[in-house]
Structure 1
Amino acid sequence: MTDTHSPQTLLEPTAAVAPMTLPALLAEASRRFAGIAAIEENGVVTRYAELPEQVMAVTRGLLARGIEEGDRVAIWAPNCRAWIIAALGIHCAGAVMVPINTRMKGPEAADVLARSGTRLLFLCREFLGVDYPALLQPFRPDSLEGEIILDEPVSIDGRLGWQAFLDEGASVSLERVKARMAAVTPEHVSDLLFTSGTTGKPKGVLSTQGQLLRAFHEYGKVIGLGPGDRYLIVNPFFHAFGYKAGWISCLLAGATILPHAVFDADVVIRRIAEDRISVLPGPPTLYLSMLAHPQLAQTDLSSLRVAVTGAATIPAVLIERMRTDLGFEVVTTAYGLTECGGLATICDPGAPAEVVAATSGRPIAGTEVSIRNAENQLLPAGETGEICLRGFHVMRGYFQDPDATAEAIDAEGWLHTGDVGRLDEQGNLQITDRLKDMFIVGGFNCYPAEIEAVLLQHPAIAQVAVIGVPDERMGEVGCACVVRHANQSLEGPELIAWCRERMANYKVPRMVHFFEALPLNPSNKVAKNDLRTLLAT
């Protein structure tokens, strides 16, 4: 077949130009938004005018410790004000920030530190009952030269306290710091984010400051983020959704950052009312949890304005309920992955509701999306295949892993994402699922997200996840893991019969398991590997 369908590109470049380095962003934000609160945490307000001095104090501390351009400095802590200040200090030193997943165990964190060649580590003393220094100590790599405890002012057990670290930097002149900041270019690597490691050891993804700022300047313009917005960042900072679409986007727009360490529906709903939250992005599970909360009707949600979510297929009813029951004026969807800096496409919030519900929109300016088959041939609109991306936002490569880089990015510059989807006639991306989550029932491909979208239409279902499980006759069959709405009754055979009326037989789950709550990963997405383990025991 001859294909005449060309890759789609999105929105025209915006007129306003974003700063292209983090030091330039810091300077511009402190000037443009001087009197606005940049960060609010536990009653402590840090205004934009105060940020440069606080950040440069961190950069001075790093220089005092001998950190050079390109050196790796890691952060292992929950969402908090100090995380942001430390990260900006690393960026302004021209060093590479390495975020570490707060759910990692000692050996996992040590592996990331060792493979990245991290010289210094900022970490918290305790989070969710875990002593992080003690967790790391038995596995601490020799390459790690020092640790700074973010939530301890003084040094303890051979580790520098936060204030002690800042005090060390007093020996470094302000002129030297400013010279280092001025030397930072858009091509400096901003961060080394490690992938989730679902198909082996996590791989380190290299992105630059220019890529980061260009992409999320576009993001902020699409969602209308601006001064006066109050952004509750529930998504973890170690992930691009919390870091780049989170506090970096706030700095670009002059919005106020309110870090939130652990998602709890009770606490989040209370904070929306008390802190007058206007921006609350998150995965669909966040909004589903809120919608199922018994105190929802009694809570003042009038401040909510912007919601951004993303998943394979989002049911239209969720988008409608986010607008009507939660009161969001702007509801949109976006798609990205670590290897493209966290953002590839975003839906125009002004598009028809069915487009927002069914797609992740079109590529951001300067990027392309292509759908390809297993032979890397371009597919026409409407056909399903692997989502491939090309443009300024594609990673510089996997850290010290040229073979994996060559496998992910082909000779024409296309990043092969491992996600499955299609482009509609307008160039909107419809994500079907992950290649790895697809299961095959009697020779038919089944994409869990498509099945989940149908199941969520059942009035008794609050949340659902579908996984493939082994079956002697069919090879694999679908298993629905269901959380019922409060005070709703539903049994497995009843749900299976309901499904048979609404989907092809091979897609119908053969098993149903009920849960009080589905296991979530730190990004508040359903941890399907945990479900597979639970059901296998």
Structure 2
Amino acid sequence: MTDQHTYLTYDEVIRHWAKHRPENIATEQDDRKLTYTDLLELTDRAVGYFQSAGVAKGDRIAWLGKNSDLYAILFAAAARMGVVMAPIGWRLAPPEIAYIVKDTGSKILFAGEEFAETARTVAYGIDPRPAVLSEGEAWKAVRTSDRAEFDAAGPDDGILQLYTSGTTGNPKGVVLTGRNLLGLRPFGIAEELPWAEYRPTDCVLVAMPIAHIGGTGLINISFASGVRALIQAEFTPEGVLDGIESGVTQMFIVPAALQMVIQHPKAATTDFSNLRYLMYGAAPIPLELLREAVKTMPTTGFLQAYGMTETTGTIASLPPDDHTLEGNKRMRSAGKAVPGTEIAILGPDGKEVPRGEIGEIAVRSPSNTSGYWKLPEATAATIDKDGWLHTGDAAYMDDDGYLYIQDRIKDMIISGGENVYPAEVESAIYGHPAIAEVAVIGIPSEKWGEEVKACVVAKPGMEVDPNDVIAWARERVAAFKAPKTVDVIPEMPRNPSGKILRRELRAPFWEGQERQVS
């Protein structure tokens, strides 16, 4: 069947759909529609441009900007020849952007028009300095370059590098291969799961940020399945509702964004009949929000997706049949392993614990990253000798294989689907002239799932203005990482060795919660 394949390289994928669905729309953004024939030609030309610019297999390129069909083309072209694309969150502060560009060693930094000046400023301070092309310049370079012959990337060549915040304060580059991005598809096809089926007329909405697996991952799903990717520059409730009415059949969204969509006035008059499946993740969905969503979208199947950047996204899911308006025990779970993935709950000794006992979620899957870029020690601490990737999430598994997440072993905060590590924010706040000590925690938020709070101790004789601390942080880290609130406390709770006990700071805010993640 021409609509099913099990290729593990992007070169095979793009060539396949250009042959079998040449006139199908590959990408659509605003008024621009590109077919799979166009995608083949433009990626050929982009490869030609990369070669002329001295970019070869194994090199890195970067993108600074919002979601864009040009990014999708550059990513696919790079993936075909084994060049690694590193998308950078456009909301990051300039020092954070500079760190990623320097860490990747990117030879070219592509930038959306509104970020071109920032890109040039950042590049100026990096040695060797990357070339910088604005979106307009990049379109011209791609369209006017000659189509090129090249040696295609293999399944285990790196093609995507996504950055996830690190507990040491610097983000880590997660290297993903063709096998990581495409390797679970054959298992989904074999299982014939309804939500894994993509029809030629399907359309996937790409509204989540492309610097996250929830953004670029949806472009990957679209191209792998030979369907239309409707790309929106950034999430807006109106954009999502317009997209659904225009034919979106599958989408991914974080619960905080879903709440904004269904509570928008336009939702009451939107026709949701096109939308077959809505995947949500990064946080469990509150029962009341689910009820409101199902009432608003009665013909849509809801799937909770659990995963992380290091697993190339979803490795466990809660299917539509386990969602009920009345609520049930399984809806408090993160679902069970998707086909092709093994999940185990491990104790401190690395051995699997009995069902019902809490331990750390570990994953073994074709989608697991091979490691962090230039960080062998961090890689070894995350992926053990038997290939189990340790997630840092504490959970138990029931007799039916459903995961029930209890807490995060690591200190990460998830706010509106964005990952925030306390150490990173603490480093940004620590230099404030009135602050002696700082500890950052996540507290419950009805809107965002969790929000960032800073607990600070003032220097002797000094007074701390919470609004000034927030402004100070926003100058140094992205706004979503900066604290929403600041508490001034007399002293930090510590253990006998002097380590700050964040759990004690968190505890009062999480009283009455079923579990210590939102």
TM surpasses 0.5: yes
Match of 2:378 among 400, 404, 411: 404
- Determine the structure 2 residue equivalent to 1:53: 41
Percent identity over the alignment?
27
**Cα distance, 1:200 vs structure 2:** 1.9
1:145 aligns with 2:118: no
Match of 2:391 among 409, 414, 417: 417
- Determine the structure 2 residue equivalent to 1:337: 308
Q: Is the 8 A contact 2:158 2:176 kept in 1?
A: yes
**Cα distance, 1:86 vs structure 2:** 0.8
CA distance in 2, matches of 1:51, 1:197: 35
What amino acid is aligned across from residue 149 of structure 1 in structure 2?
Answer: S
1:234 aligns with 2:211: no
Question: Where in structure 1 are there 5+ consecutive unaligned residues?
Answer: 1-14, 154-160, 439-446, 453-466, 468-474, 485-520
**Cα distance, 1:24 vs structure 2:** 0.3
Matches within 5 A, 1:18-417: 18-126=6-114, 131-139=117-125, 141-150=126-135, 152-153=136-137, 161-164=138-141, 166-167=143-144, 169-170=145-146, 174=147, 177-181=148-152, 184-197=153-166, 199-216=168-185, 222=193, 223=195, 224-244=197-217, 246-273=218-245, 275-351=246-322, 353=324, 354=328, 357-417=331-391
Q: Structure 1 residues 355 and 297, CA, compared in 2 at 3 Å: closer, same or farther?
A: same
Deviation track 1:466-525 (CA, whole Å, cap 9, x = no partner) reads x9xxxxxxx9999554569xxxxxxxxxxxxxxxxxxxxxxxxxxxxxxxxxxxx9xxxx
What amino acid is aligned across from residue 119 of structure 2 in structure 1?
Answer: P
What amino acid is aligned across from residue 225 of structure 1 in structure 2?
Answer: Y
**Cα distance, 1:435 vs structure 2:** 2.6
| Secondary structure at 1:258 match in 2 | strand
Question: Where in structure 2 are there 5+ consecutive unaligned residues?
Answer: 417-421, 423-438, 449-473, 490-518
| Secondary structure at 2:313 match in 1 | coil
CA distance in 1, matches of 2:139, 2:359: 49
Q: Is the 8 A contact 2:123 2:130 kept in 1?
A: no
What amino acid is aligned across from residue 227 of structure 1 in structure 2?
Answer: P
Q: Is the 8 A contact 1:420 1:434 kept in 2?
A: yes
Deviation track 1:205-240 (CA, whole Å, cap 9, x = no partner) reads 122112211125656864233221222211111111
Deviation track 1:115-140 (CA, whole Å, cap 9, x = no partner) reads 2221112111205xx8433552453x
Q: Structure 1 residues 119 and 312, CA, compared in 2 at 3 Å: closer, same or farther?
A: same
What amino acid is aligned across from residue 407 of structure 1 in structure 2?
Answer: A
Q: Structure 1 residues 216 and 338, CA, compared in 2 at 3 Å: closer, same or farther?
A: farther
What amino acid is aligned across from residue 198 of structure 2 in structure 1?
Answer: L
What amino acid is aligned across from residue 401 of structure 1 in structure 2?
Answer: L
| Secondary structure at 1:30 match in 2 | helix
What amino acid is aligned across from residue 270 of structure 1 in structure 2?
Answer: D
- Determine the structure 2 residue equivalent to 1:494: none
What amino acid is aligned across from residue 338 of structure 2 in structure 1?
Answer: I
**Cα distance, 1:166 vs structure 2:** 4.4
- Determine the structure 2 residue equivalent to 1:426: 400
| Secondary structure at 1:242 match in 2 | helix
CA distance in 1, matches of 2:161, 2:82: 13
Query: What TM-score, normalized by structure 2, do the two folds share?
Result: 0.75
Q: Structure 1 residues 403 and 304, CA, compared in 2 at 3 Å: closer, same or farther?
A: same
Deviation track 1:14-41 (CA, whole Å, cap 9, x = no partner) reads x954211000000111122222211111
What amino acid is aligned across from residue 320 of structure 2 in structure 1?
Answer: P
Report the aligned-residue RMSD. Answer: 3.2
Q: Structure 1 residues 322 and 217, CA, compared in 2 at 3 Å: closer, same or farther?
A: farther
Q: After TM superposition, which residue ranges in structure 1, 4 or more long, deviate above 6 angstroms?
A: 475-478
| Secondary structure at 1:343 match in 2 | strand
Q: Structure 1 residues 21 and 422, CA, compared in 2 at 3 Å: closer, same or farther?
A: same
Q: Structure 1 residues 16 and 346, CA, compared in 2 at 3 Å: closer, same or farther?
A: farther
What amino acid is aligned across from residue 28 of structure 2 in structure 1?
Answer: E
CA distance in 1, matches of 2:322, 2:57: 44
**Cα distance, 1:60 vs structure 2:** 0.4
> How many equivalent pairs are there?
430
Q: Structure 1 residues 227 and 431, CA, compared in 2 at 3 Å: closer, same or farther?
A: farther
| Secondary structure at 2:89 match in 1 | coil
CA distance in 1, matches of 2:275, 2:167: 35
CA distance in 2, matches of 1:283, 1:330: 15
Q: Is the 8 A contact 2:187 2:340 kept in 1?
A: no
CA distance in 2, matches of 1:194, 1:478: 21
| Secondary structure at 2:298 match in 1 | coil
Deviation track 1:396-453 (CA, whole Å, cap 9, x = no partner) reads 1111111111111123322111112221211122223423459xxxxxxxx999xx9x
Q: Is the 8 A contact 1:312 1:430 kept in 2?
A: no
Deviation track 1:135-163 (CA, whole Å, cap 9, x = no partner) reads 52453x1123312212x24xxxxxxx531
Q: Structure 1 residues 289 and 199, CA, compared in 2 at 3 Å: closer, same or farther?
A: farther
Q: Is the 8 A contact 1:195 1:202 kept in 2?
A: yes
